[in-house]
Amino acid sequence: MSLIYQPHIYEKILSTPYASGLRSAKIITGYASSSFIYHVIHEFPELKLEITIGMARQNGISKWDHIEYNRISSTTNRLTVNYYIGNKPIHIKGLYWESQKRDIAFAGSSNFSWNGYRDFLELMTAVPTEELVVAFPENDILSCNNPDIDDMNIIVDSITSQQPKNLKDIALTKEVVHVPLFSEKQQRMHDRSGLNWGQRPEYSREPNQAYIPVPKSIHDQHPDFFPPKDQEFTLLTDDGESFVCVMAQDNRKAIETRYDNSIIGRYFRKRLNVELGNYVSLDDLERYGRKSLSIYKIGCDLYYSDCSV
């Protein structure tokens, strides 16, 4: 029986079976990450995923992950996410590919997340499909889009079951960078980039398009702070919003919202009390009372931004 270790888990368990023609996978996992699921569902454009999260009742499902599970499900029609709410938590990690010709199954230690499939030292192994299938619960499961889910007390604002529970309290214990929202070198606002990326009427750009600029000096001082280019991560905000983002452009100089570049532009305009579609000026930042964003690294795919005054 072959054992699969990092760094081959993603390739052997996801990429290779998909390349061989398999298109439908079922996953049971203790925990999951919405940014990782977003990446998988979009890297493999014909893949259908059904995921059961076994520790939902024990530790809860974060609000931002829950929102993303529903959004990805509704926009792709290729994702089903179930929360197991039985009395005895399920900590099993396994995946099996279904097809009319052959089934392939794997089990081991990898949660369905970047940590489980790339960053942590994990072990997965091929197993008989019939032995893994019986680990999937038939009862006490709740679809993420169930209208009664708010009454189940499993959607939480915290990222940990341990104290402190307040997101900002947790963030303040983590590594932080302070990202200017204007050009510090020129002491002026970016005219056609940053928060004003969409201010290009000659190209018929959506005027709210924007990104958070990350100067080279920050990468030089904190080379491992942000994820690699084009890898999805979740950015939480101090006022309760969340976005799936990527590091983008040359030298990872931009934090962009993955599925619509105007989302982050609309967010900042509303926060700065600037009319949607309008140019964001340095005066707008000064009037708001802050010209930079504090970004805390909570995990490999989870960041917290503070723009409070």
CA distance 126 to 31: 20
Question: What local confidence, expressed as pLDDT, does residue 159 receive?
Answer: 62
> Hey, is 1 helix, strand or coil?
coil
Question: What local confidence, expressed as pLDDT, does residue 165 receive?
Answer: 56
Question: What local confidence, expressed as pLDDT, does residue 162 receive?
Answer: 47
CA distances from 299 to 21, 33, 234, 241, 259 (A): 34, 11, 10, 17, 22
Q: How many helices (H) and strands (E) does the chain have?
A: 11, 17
Question: What local confidence, expressed as pLDDT, does residue 160 receive?
Answer: 54
Q: Give pLDDT tens digits for 197-247.
A: 999 888 788 999 999 999 999 999 999 999 999 999 999 999 989 999 999
Would you list the domain boundaries of the chain? 3-156, 167-306
Q: Give pLDDT tens digits for 207-218.
A: 999 999 999 999
Q: Which DSSP symbol is given to 117?
A: I
Q: Give pLDDT tens digits for 15-61.
A: 999 999 999 999 999 999 999 999 999 999 999 999 999 999 988 99
Question: What local confidence, expressed as pLDDT, does residue 170 receive?
Answer: 78
At residue 172 the predicted structure's pLDDT band, cuts being 50, 70 and 90, is confident
CA distance 65 to 155: 9
Question: What local confidence, expressed as pLDDT, does residue 101 receive?
Answer: 78
Q: Of 177, 198, 171, 183, nearest to 285 (Cα)? A: 183
Percentage of residues of the chain with pLDDT beyond 70? 96
CA distances from 287 to 36, 207, 212, 284, 292 (A): 38, 21, 19, 5, 13
CA distance 295 to 176: 6
pLDDT at 137 over 90: yes
Superfamily of domain 3-156: Endonuclease Chain A (3.30.870.10)
Question: What local confidence, expressed as pLDDT, does residue 21 receive?
Answer: 94
Q: Give pLDDT tens digits for 138-165.
A: 999 999 999 989 888 899 886 654 444 5
> What is the reported pTM?
0.87
Lowest mean pLDDT among 4-13, 160-169, 294-303: 160-169
Question: What local confidence, expressed as pLDDT, does residue 1 receive?
Answer: 52
Looking at the domain that runs over 167-306, which CATH code has it been given? 2.40.330
User: How do the residues of the chain divide into helix, strand and coil, expressed in percent and rounded to 5?
Assistant: 30, 30, 45
